[in-house]
């Protein structure tokens, strides 16, 4: 008999997503165990199998009956701008009356307006508004997320954002992977002096972050470094400069590429061995082919075109035909996509990127974990992996994608702890902002 702390059993479908990141014809392999069970010891998965098998072999202190429920790995959201101050509701209204996101940005609004608010916010204020969003993410089944800086655009505020991310990761309940996005926009004080700002990122910010990480990072690996490679933000040459400097300092890389225009960012990401290239709405064919032959994960963000009421989405079938590893994320941010729900990203990906529910689930779990270089630890239900799992109040996985606008998650288990049960929170939340 095996001793376990927790046994989740009787799942109508247990989706294991076993076997690592998925590409090619393998993409969308759920590894379904009918009448499935998971045995958990401490924060790890001990065994996965049928309920019949595990109830015979495992003696568990607690049991969760998952009858009529789908059980799957917690969602991994590999692209968010979780930490910010204020909101941009006014700009939403401006967009509805005809101004574009890029026009608002060129007129000094957009990212810059969130930067002004974020610079004024202290550490506690930043943490408290992010916690409110983290709680919503958890209720919707996200157990790990990436979180970027990029609303400071000066060393001090960028460091404060990183500190907020690390402290929120320590605090939980969602696990966070940090990304430094000092190159998110040109701050107003560097207007028309983009190259000087690039120098500041390269010569001051990156070394300062590397140094400060020894104390604020608490032994964690270095954060990712990301660049918004786009007209009105950073061109290809500037993006390359920043990413090369970051790589020489040992940072792993990401990029925002081809969201509005193709500047060559995806090709650059592949050449540099970036962990992921994100957005990819207007990626040219040769870059899609290069991406498909690489291990750089293509992160599609369907909430962004939806949030901007645009009609073009990432060309998933071209990326998949080329052999790419496709992941999904929310892009949670105050400008283009204030959405905490990976379920909604899945629903959009099914309709506008033509993924099947099983493909969208793989993109939101194991492949999303690969975009964070954590596929060895999260994103699937396999013995030895972290016990991060969710229960849906449906008995067939295809309800994910099919339904939208409501929450199908009934229970959330993070590192072996039941945090949400039957839709009720079982953890004590730290101070939330209203």
Residues 269-328 that bind ligand NIG (CB under 6 A): 304
Comparing every residue's Cβ against Fe ion, the nearest one is: 331
**Residue 341 is encoded by which pair of tokens?**
């729900």
- Select from ligand NIG, Fe ion, none the partner in contact with residue 335, using the beta carbon and a kind-dependent cut-off of 5 to 8 Å: ligand NIG
Residue list 317-346, contact with Fe ion (CB under 5 A): 331
* Cβ distance to Fe ion smaller for residue 165 or 413: 165
| 15 three-class SS | strand
Burial, 104: exposed, middle or buried (Cβ in 10 Å; 0-12, 13-18, 19+)?
buried
Size of site (CB under 5 A) for Fe ion: 1
Q: Which of 331, 340, 382, 388 binds ligand NIG (CB under 6 A)?
A: 331
Smallest distance, ligand NIG to C-beta of residue 271, A: 21
**340 is a contact residue toward ligand NIG (CB under 6 A):** no
> Which residues lie closer than 8 Å to 255 by C-beta, 6 or more apart?
226, 227, 229, 239, 243, 265, 266, 268, 269, 274, 276, 277, 278
Q: Mask 157-186, x = binds ligand NIG (CB under 6 A)? A: ------------------------------
Instruction: Compute the distance between CA of residue 84 and CA of residue 115 in angstroms, rounded to an integer.
Output: 8
Rounded Cα–Cα distance for residues 193 and 201 (Å): 13
110's contact among ligand NIG, Fe ion, none, with CB below 5 to 8 A by partner kind, is: ligand NIG
Nearest to ligand NIG of 147, 333 (CB atom): 333
Select the binding partner of residue 69 from ligand NIG, Fe ion, none (C-beta < 5 to 8 A, by kind): none
259 touches ligand NIG by CB under 6 A:
yes
d(CA 279, CA 275): 14
The verdict on 113 binding ligand NIG (CB under 6 A) reads no
Q: Where are the alpha helices (DSSP H) in 186-235?
A: 194-199, 206-216
> Which one of 241-249, 264-272, 333-341, 386-394 is the stretch in contact with ligand NIG (CB under 6 A)?
333-341
Reported as half-sphere exposure (CB side, CA atoms, 13 A), residue 44 has a value of 8
Choosing from 16, 336, 365, 367, the residue that interacts with ligand NIG (CB under 6 A) is 336
Residue 10 near ligand NIG by CB under 6 A: no
Cβ at position 308, least distance to ligand NIG in Å: 8
**In sequence order, what are the residues at sequence separation of 6 or more whose Cβ sits closer than 8 angstroms to the Cβ of residue 424?**
none
Let me know: does 403 contact 347? Beta carbons within 8 Å.
Answer: yes
Query: What token pair was written down for 373?
Result: 């270089």
Of residues 210 through 249, those in contact with ligand NIG by CB under 6 A are: 228
| DSSP-derived pairing of the beta strands 389-392 and 409-414 | antiparallel
Q: How far is the CB of 151 from Fe ion (least distance, A)?
A: 11
> CB of 314: closest distance to ligand NIG in angstroms?
13
Supply the minimum distance, in Å, between the C-beta of residue 109 and ligand NIG: 9
Task: Return the ∠ at Cα 317 (arms to 272 and 289), rounded to 5°.
Answer: 35
| CB distance 243 to 255 below 8 Å | yes
Q: Does 410 bind ligand NIG (CB under 6 A)?
A: no
Could you say whether residue 256 binds ligand NIG (CB under 6 A)? Answer: yes
The residue (of 226 and 388) whose beta carbon lies closer to ligand NIG is 226
114 touching ligand NIG, by CB under 6 A: yes
Contact range with ligand NIG by CB under 6 A, out of 4-12, 38-46, 330-338, 356-364: 330-338
Angle, nearest 10°, between helix axes 111-120 and 155-171? Answer: 80
Coil, strand or helix at 38 = strand
Residue 132 neighbours by CB distance under 10 Å? 15
Closest approach of Cβ 148 to Fe ion, in Å?
Answer: 7
Please report whether residue 109 would count as binding ligand NIG according to CB under 6 A.
Answer: no
Nearer to ligand NIG, 141 or 334 (CB): 334
Residue 207 CA: distances (Å) to CA of 108, 135, 214: 28, 33, 12
Q: Does 187 bind ligand NIG (CB under 6 A)?
A: no
Closest CA relative to residue 86, chosen from 145, 151, 27:
151
Provide the minimum distance between the beta carbon of 334 and ligand NIG in the complex, in angstroms, as a whole number.
5
Query: What are the residues binding ligand NIG (CB under 6 A)?
Result: 81, 110-111, 114, 228, 256, 259, 304, 331, 333-336
Query: What are the residues binding Fe ion (CB under 5 A)?
Result: 331
């Amino acid at each position: 008999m095996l001793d376990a702390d927790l046994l989740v059993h009787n799942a109508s479908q247990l989706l294991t997503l076993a076997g690592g990141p998925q590409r090619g014809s393998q993409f969308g392999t759920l590894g379904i165990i009918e009448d499935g069970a998971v045995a958990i010891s401490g924060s790890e998965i001990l065994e996965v199998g049928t309920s019949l098998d595990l109830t015979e072999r495992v003696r568990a202190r607690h049991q969760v009956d998952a009858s009529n429920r789908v059980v799957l790995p917690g969602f991994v959201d590999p692209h968010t701008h979780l930490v910010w101050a204020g909101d941009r509701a006014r700009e939403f209204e401006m967009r509805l009356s005809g101004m574009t996101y890029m026009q608002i940005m060129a007129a000094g609004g957009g990212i810059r307006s969130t930067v002004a608010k974020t610079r004024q916010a202290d550490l506690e204020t930043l943490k408290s508004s992010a916690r409110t969003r983290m709680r919503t993410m958890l209720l919707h089944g996200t157990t790990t997320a990436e979180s970027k800086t990029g609303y400071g655009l000066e060393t001090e505020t960028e460091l404060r954002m990183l500190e907020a991310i690390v402290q929120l990761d320590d605090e939980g309940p969602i696990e966070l992977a940090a990304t430094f996005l000092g190159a998110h926009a040109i701050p107003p004080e560097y207007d028309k002096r983009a190259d000087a700002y690039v120098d500041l990122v390269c010569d001051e910010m990156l070394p300062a972050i590397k140094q400060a990480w020894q104390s604020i990072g608490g032994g964690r690996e270095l954060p990712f470094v990301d660049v918004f490679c786009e007209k009105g933000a950073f061109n290809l040459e500037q993006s390359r400069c920043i990413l090369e400097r970051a790589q020489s300092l040992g940072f792993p890389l990401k990029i925002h590429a081809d969201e509005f225009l193709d500047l060559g960012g995806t090709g650059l990401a592949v050449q540099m061995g970036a962990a992921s290239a994100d957005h990819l709405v207007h990626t040219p064919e040769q870059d899609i082919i290069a991406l498909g032959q690489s291990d750089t994960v293509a992160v599609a963000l369907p909430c962004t075109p939806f949030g901007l009421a645009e009609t073009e989405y990432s060309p998933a079938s071209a990326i998949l035909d080329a052999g790419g590893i496709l992941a999904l994320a929310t892009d949670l941010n105050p400008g283009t996509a204030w959405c905490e729900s990976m379920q909604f990203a899945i629903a959009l990906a099914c309709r506008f990127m033509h993924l099947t529910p099983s493909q969208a689930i793989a993109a939101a779990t194991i492949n999303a974990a690969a975009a964070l270089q954590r596929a060895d630890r999260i994103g699937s239900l396999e013995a030895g992996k972290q016990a991060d799992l969710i229960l849906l109040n449906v008995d067939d996985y295809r309800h994910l994608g099919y339904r939208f606008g409501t929450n199908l998650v009934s229970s959330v288990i993070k590192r072996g702890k039941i945090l949400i049960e039957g839709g009720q929170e079982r953890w004590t939340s730290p101070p939330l902002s209203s």
